[in-house]
Amino acid sequence: MSIDFTDRANRPGKIIALHLNYPSRIEQRGRSPKFPGYFIKAGTSIANTGDTLERPKGTELLAYEGEIALIIGETCRRVSPEEGWSKVSGITAANDWGLYDLRHADKGSNIKNKSGDGFTPLGPEVIPAEGLDPKALRVRTWVNGTIVQDDDTSGLVFPFGQLVADLSQLMTLEEGDIILTGTPAGSSVAQPGDVVEVEVDAPTAPGAPSTGRLVTKVVESEYEMAAFGAQPQVDDKQREEAWGSREAAGLPAERSTITDELRAKVEEVAVATLSAELRKRGLNNVSIDGPTLNHKGRRILGYAKTLRYVPNREDLFKKFGGGYNAQKQAMDSVQPDDVVVMEARGEKGTGTLGDVLALRAQVLGATGIITDGGVRDSSAVNALDIPVYSNSSHPAVLGRRHVPWEVDGTIACGGTTVQPGDIIVGDDDGVIVIPPALFEEVVDAAYEKEQEDAWVFEQVKAGNKVQGLFPPTGEWREKFEAWKQSR
């Protein structure tokens, strides 16, 4: 049976969507709900198979979620979980599209994130519920012909009867209302040009009834988000959740790189020694050249939190420079052990940081700030308990030279590339960038080298020649190894 749900005569009075239900998705999200949690989707978000879906211009995280949609067959109120399934007249396929760029706009209500036109395709066929086992249904999703979601209802945390019963405790469910029952693992981001298909079936039921494939074609909209509403806002957390994993989103691994043991070793290792070890591994362009440290004798170690400025253009500054701009967003989203690294193109003719934002980073646990531009309010910044590397001091405000543009992107600072999550180490000599995958190896090698150099220093101090000693070879090498073993 086919139903055109976009027809006003067939349009459901309510579309109620469930946040989490499939164990595979719950494990992926790392959250274990005790009870069902819901949100409402607009009736105008319904679309049919074959319809196109526009991704708003300037956004990046339009994510699909293949789901089973329950169609309520009769008006009901305060039913029991055992009765719940009997109130369902049929099931169909659904795609619960969401725009993660706008999740921040209305938090849990998901109105702008989930209720755009075309964000709830349904169909193409409805399978009658009579005779179906609600624990023996299957949902699958394909992107450009490749299957990306494949799960069944045998292990749902919240069975379908419980969902109907739970919702009916506070609201009347009417004939035609639709409940979206959650998505399994495999939900991810679609790009313009992708074709996403969802199918629901009952493979063990007589005749193996199926809804057929619900097809959605993603296109890029020609329209940007209007300036008078919430603007797209994306960070790595949203990217990870939209894509399904940090790896799928192209993000660095979780922060387990800087262990206490490695942190202690770094405290005893010069940046110059770390730089030499990176050079041995073919990495020469890892130093942030130019910026100098305001707190001599201090060291920094942490994960890169990046912020990029672009050259000032008055129309762009008017649109992006004021209000809660990228500069403020960067400082507000600092995590403990972050090092804020700013790309300012080496421009010294204005400030890129002042005392208030430096204090914000300090309060949130940043271990340092680096800019290849200028600092204003320099005396007040220097009085704070956070090391800052910069190219200059300058009294001018940001807008004289810059537009704050991007947070958590790949940047260039002081002539080297810095990616979010890179390891930043700095001392009086300067700052270097270490790829996370090499951090442990490089630190261990540098620590051993520091021990060797300290021993050599003592031998030279005792009057020995450097020939054969720096670095130790032959007899001197044997003496060093024996000293090391004796420790």
For residue range 200-252, list pLDDT tens digits in order.
Answer: 999 999 999 999 999 999 999 999 888 888 889 898 888 999 998 888 888 86
Which of 421, 383, 424 lies closest to 253, judged by CA?
Answer: 421
Domains in the chain (CATH in brackets) are: 15-243 (3.90.850.10), 284-434 (3.50.30.40)
Label residues 141-156 b or e (16+ Cβ within 10 Å = b): bbbeeeebbebbbeeb
What is the arithmetic mean of pLDDT over 295-309? Answer: 95
Tokens linked to 221: 């909209």
Percent of the chain residues past pLDDT 70, beyond the cut: 99
Helix (H) or strand (E) holding 393: strand 392-393
**For residue 319, is pLDDT > 70?**
yes
Q: In 3D, which of 39, 36, 40 has the Cα closest to residue 14?
A: 40
> What φ, ψ does residue 420 adopt, rounded to 5°?
-55, 135
- Consecutive H or E run containing 179: strand 178-180
pTM, rounded to two decimals: 0.59
Q: Centre a 10 Å sphere on the Cβ of residue 484 and count the other Cβ atoms it contains.
A: 12
Which residues are annotated as part of the binding site for Mg(2+)? 377
Confidence check: pLDDT of 338 > 90: yes
The rounded mean pLDDT for the chain is 93
- What tens digit of pLDDT does each residue of 379-415 get? 999 999 999 999 999 999 999 999 999 999 999 999 9
- In 108-145, the DSSP E strands lie at 120-121, 127-128, 138-143
Residues 6+ apart with CB under 8 A from 236: 246, 249, 251, 408, 420
**pLDDT at position 467:** 87
Residue by residue, DSSP assigns 346-392 as T--SSBS--HHHHHHHHHTT--EEEESSEESSHHHHHHSSS-EEESE
φ, ψ for residue 380 (rounded to 5)? -70, -40
**Confidence band (pLDDT; 50, 70, 90) for 254?**
low
410-424 pLDDT, tens digit each? 999 999 999 999 999
Confidence of residue 475 (pLDDT cuts 50, 70, 90): confident
pLDDT of residue 68: 98
Q: What is the pLDDT of residues 85-123, one digit of tens each?
A: 999 999 999 999 999 999 998 877 899 999 999 999 999
Cα torsion 128, 133, 136, 140 to 10°: value is 20
pLDDT of residue 253: 66
Question: Comparing C-alpha atoms, which of 364, 350, 368, 365 is closest to residue 293?
Answer: 368
- When pLDDT is averaged across residues 258-270 and rounded to a whole number, the result is 93
CA dihedral 105, 106, 111, 114 (to 10 degrees): 60
Which is more confident, 339 or 471?
Answer: 339
Residues annotated in a binding site:
354-357, 376-377
Binding residues for substrate: 354-357, 376
The mean per-residue pLDDT over the stretch 140-159 comes to: 97
